[in-house]
Structure 1
Amino acid sequence: MKKKSEQILWNLFREGDRKAFENMFLKFNPILFTIGLKMTSDRSLIEDSIHEVFIDLWNKRSRLPEVDTVKYYLIVCYRRMLLLYLKESNRNVDINEQSFVLVDSEEYKQIEDQLNTDTISKLKHAIEELPSRQKEIIELRFMKSMSYDEIQEIMEINYTSSRKLVYKAINNLKKHLKGNSFNLVLILALLS
């Protein structure tokens, strides 16, 4: 139901409804701010980049796509904007182990060009071979970019167990893909 109401809000926003725009900003601003704190301690830069994302979205609203999950669409837009701000200000990104996998857009393009469909196909096959709980956690963590807190809630396991299960799933993928020379976590991020 929550997802449906977010989609309705998103569609109203795309049609130019200012109240929907305001509600969306109020709803997602705290989430985006938290993500920003994982990348930098500069609160004003975080706020500026959030505002810039929403201004950009408003200006492009009629051309925006329909999305399944508004939250994750906004997170992707925000991460790109904040990385751009950090790059322009020549600041290092402060990434801790709980933050999202971050890839510079130029690096992303080069890596994406280097990855052939065979490698991605092998990885998808390896994911399908995982036990169901490991497959689920790989999908939640890497394909849907969920935090460990969100994962623990969805899978009804504690925080430590969710981290251990991701570790175990990645190790199983590495064993299954032994001999392939690529960064597994990076490829999982590219699949998302």
Structure 2
Amino acid sequence: MNDCTEENRLLWLSFLKGDQDAFSTLYKNNYRMLYAYGRRLQMEENQIRDIIHDIFLKLYAKPDLIKNVTTIRPFLLVSMRNAFINWKKKMQRQTDMDVLDFDLHYTVENEFWDKEQLMDVKKKVEHIVQQLTPRQKEIIYLRFLYEMSYEEVAQIMGMSEQAARNLVYRTMDRIRKDNLQAAFALFLF
């Protein structure tokens, strides 16, 4: 269990015992993660803030929504994702899961010796990312950037753990086959 999960667990247990400050800290500790996830889902800033606020209001009013204290972070991300999908469906009147246009941004540290090399790597990563479907982008984001377990990824994306493993495998296989010489660049961000 990573530190974030353990801290969330301890804060949640403190909140359940009546510590209001623990709930406030839980909100503050997870706000950035949820905000970043909302931006990657291409939500508007006001919409993100409203959804985060609503998620925590719902948790405050109904703490029994968290069945297992180790699933707080996945619960928050699933709630964010579901709120976006519901909003998108309402706006576009679509029920297809591909309404989720996941935007996988990347960052490359300035550890490169010259700007040409940096630009070359950015172009390669951009090319790789453009070839991925929205679901592939999302699973790579959750699995490798947030370093989430397959169980957590599966819970967030509404699929079985084996389906999550298969999707990661197929995505990585596609990257390797399509971009053999540039595949390493995806993991530099």
Task: State TM-score, norm by structure 1.
Answer: 0.50
Aligned: 1:94 with 2:101: yes
Equivalences for residues 4-83 of structure 1 within 5 A = 4-83=6-85
Cα deviations across residues 140-159 of structure 1 (Å, max 9, x unaligned)?
A: x58xx83422449xxxxxxx
The one-letter amino acid paired with 1:96 is D
Amino acid at match of 2:144: Y
% identity of equivalent residues: 21
Match of 1:155 in 2: none
Give the 5 Å matches for 1:134-149. 146-149=142-145
1:167 — aligned with what?
Answer: 172
Cα contact 2:34–2:77 (8 A) shared by 1: yes
Q: Residue type of the partner of 2:173?
A: K
Q: Which runs of 4+ in 1 moved over 4 A?
A: 97-100, 163-166
- CA–CA distance in structure 2, aligned partners of residues 30 and 54 of structure 1: 14
Shift of 1:32: 0.4
- CA deviation digits over 1:136-176, x for unaligned, max 9? xxxxx58xx83422449xxxxxxxxxx899512999xxxxx
Specify every segment of 5 or more residues in structure 2 that has no aligned partner in the other structure, as ranges.
Answer: 94-98, 106-132, 149-167, 177-189
What do residues 71-111 of structure 1 show as CA deviations (whole Å, max 9, x unaligned)? 22211122112322333344964323579739xxxxxxxxx
Alignment RMSD, CA only? 3.7
Q: Residues 65, 90 of structure 1: CA spacing in aligned structure 2 closer, same or farther, 3 A cutoff?
A: same
Once the two structures are superposed, residues 21-56 of structure 1 have per-residue CA deviations (whole angstroms, 9 ceiling, x without a partner) of 110110001000111011124110111111111111
TM-score w.r.t. the length of structure 2 is 0.50
Letter in 2 for 1:11: L
Distance 1:59 1:168 in 2: 44
Question: How many residues in Structure 1 have an aligned counterpart in Structure 2?
Answer: 121
CA apart distance, 1:68: 1.8
Give the distance between the partners of 1:84 and 1:164, measured in 2 at CA. 28
How far apart are 1:20 and its partner, in Å?
1.1
Shift of 1:10: 1.5
Q: Please give the alpha-carbon distance, in whole angstroms, between the structure 1 residues aligned to 2:83 and 2:25.
A: 21
Name the aligned partner's letter for residue 101 of structure 1.
R
Unpaired segments ≥5 residues, structure 1 = 103-140, 153-162, 172-192
**Contact kept? 2:51, 2:80, Cα under 8 Å:** yes
The CA distance in 1 between the partners of 2:145 and 2:66, in whole Å, is 29
Contact 2:42 2:103 survives alignment (8 Å): no
